[in-house]
Amino acid sequence: MFWSNENLSLEVPFPKASDRPLIVYHPAAGPNYLSSWSIMVENNQPFILLCDDIGPHYPDDWPFLRDVVESEYFVRMYNPLIGGRAYRNPELGFENMLIHRSIDVKDAIHDLPLVDILYLDWLDPFFENVDSEKSFENIIQKMAKLVRDDGLIILDNKHKDAIPNWFIHTSSFFDLNPNLSVEYLGVGDWPIPYVNIEGVRSVIADLFKVKNRKTTHNTFDFLAKLNHERRLNVEDLERIKSTPPRRYPGHPDMDTWLENYLNHLDTPKYFPKPQYPFPTEYVWKQSEYEKWIENLIENSDQLRPVRRKERSIIINGVEIVFVHGDILDHLDWLKSQNASLLLRKKLFSECEKKMYATMENSPRIQRDFYPCKIPNLKWSEPNSTKDLTLKLLDLAQTNIAATIAHGDASISQLENQICQYKNHVKKLIIFHLDEDDYSS
């Protein structure tokens, strides 16, 4: 409900975004992100909720967030490039995302685009360099400049009794500078939480509309840092649209959870009851993922694919693609190719840290306390492992393999080895940083 000058409306005046999800920022959220999440779910429009806090309350850390039937509510996704962890609820029927970052709000706000909604319940991060009384009016300009034109500031009254100064404003209109003004709209009231999760509370909040004449062109650049699909081109999206991303590999899937639970029922002395909530089967429903990808294809101007400088040759029926660049810059593309990455331990770890899902079909050639899968591995000349390309290809787990320059980085060495190759790999992608690599 929304109260404005004693007039009641059932519709809260949320901003609209026809071609993208709403970007909602909840700084210093603590566990109260469940309230801002519940409000946005009730709005029934695509949205992304970004929460920055020095100590985030990750839903997949102990004690594990769960719904009223003891099931997982937030399913973990790929880590975003902006840092932190990302989650979604696959049952909502529209695009949604929750992001938690462990970062000081004072540092985080400098890299944000203008957001559609700024949700506030803790104002301390905004009082830096403010000498006068800590009141809402003293920091309204600092908050408003984070919000796009016709966006909202939602000031949750959670701490109104404890810190009343935060909620005192003497005017209904603030003309902050020639490009920025704020208008008090009224009170939003959500007496019954829309999302039924322990920790969600009823919310009463003051709503302010922002007029911000500053334009921003980095909204889709920002969104591309959140979804790896937005960093692909149309051809790549066509390839993956029927293959929704898998669950985060660090969490049990449904079959594993059930097996552990049945073991517990049979022999509770030796098998403890699973602590993780009953897992959701998928991250995206396939039909909804396809619909979302089709929308991205139709709005391809929103995509931010990384350009590649590449060339190809064919050796013994195997397509060899040479990419001049850093493999770390092209993990999204390699994921879309379902490529098996064949790398030494240090680079493997760097790729896994940046985008763990890229590595699901990639063997750990080197790992601590285990023998190397290629004995006496020496990557580069002058004493590189004999027939190293063949040995790498034998370890590939898919029919597309990717690696970096190795051996003497010459085409002649590749030809000498691959002319003998008779196995499953049909495409080999080789990244090289030296312009002269594989030039002859």
Write the pLDDT tens digit of every residue in 137-175: 888 988 999 999 999 999 999 998 888 888 888 888 888
DSSP state letters, 341-404: E---HHHHHHHHHH-GGGGTT---SS-TTS--SSTT---BTTSPPTTHHHHHHHH-SSSEEEEE
Task: Tell whether 406 is covered by a domain.
Answer: yes
Is the backbone peptide bond immediately before 63 cis, with ω within 30 degrees of 0? yes
CA distance 38 to 67: 13
- Are 322 and 207 members of one domain? no
- Are 317 and 214 members of one domain? no
CA distance 376 to 362: 20
pLDDT, tens only, 335-351: 999 999 999 999 999 99
Task: Tell whether 134 is covered by a domain.
Answer: yes
Q: Which of 221, 250, 280 is the last residue of a domain?
A: 221
Report the pLDDT value the prediction gives residue 170, as an integer from 0 to 100. 81
- Are 212 and 341 members of one domain? no
User: Residue 164's CB: how many other CB atoms inside 10 A?
Assistant: 10
Of 230, 247, 411, 243, give the one whose Cα is nearest residue 318.
411
Task: Tell whether 67 is covered by a domain.
Answer: yes
pLDDT band for 206, please (50, 70, 90 cuts). Answer: very high
Task: Tell whether 69 is covered by a domain.
Answer: yes
- Angle subtended at Cα 60 by Cα 267 and Cα 120, rounded to the nearest 5 degrees: 150
CA distance 24 to 15: 11
Task: Tell whether 233 is covered by a domain.
Answer: no
Q: Tell me the mean pLDDT in the region 397-412.
A: 96
- Are 329 and 207 members of one domain? no
Token pair recorded at residue 174: 């603030």
pLDDT, tens only, 271-324: 999 999 999 999 999 999 999 999 999 999 999 999 999 999 999 999 999 999
- Ranges assigned E (strand) in 106-191: 115-120, 147-156, 173-177, 180-190
CA distance 303 to 326: 21
Domain count, the chain: 2
Residue 91 DSSP SS3 = coil
Task: Tell whether 261 is covered by a domain.
Answer: no
Q: Which of 221, 247, 271 is the last residue of a domain?
A: 221
Task: Tell whether 56 is covered by a domain.
Answer: yes
Report the pLDDT value the prediction gives residue 2, as an integer from 0 to 100. 77
Q: Tell me the mean pLDDT in the region 62-72.
A: 92
- Are 50 and 199 members of one domain? yes
Cα dist. 347→166, 342, 364, 389 in Å?
A: 49, 10, 11, 17
pLDDT, tens only, 10-35: 788 999 998 999 999 999 999 999 99
- Are 68 and 206 members of one domain? yes
Residue 96's domain comprises 2-221
- Are 131 and 27 members of one domain? yes
User: Residue 204's domain is classified under what CATH number?
Assistant: 3.40.50
Cα of 116 vs its chain's centroid, Å: 18
Q: Which of 165, 186, 221 is the last residue of a domain?
A: 221
Task: Tell whether 284 is covered by a domain.
Answer: no
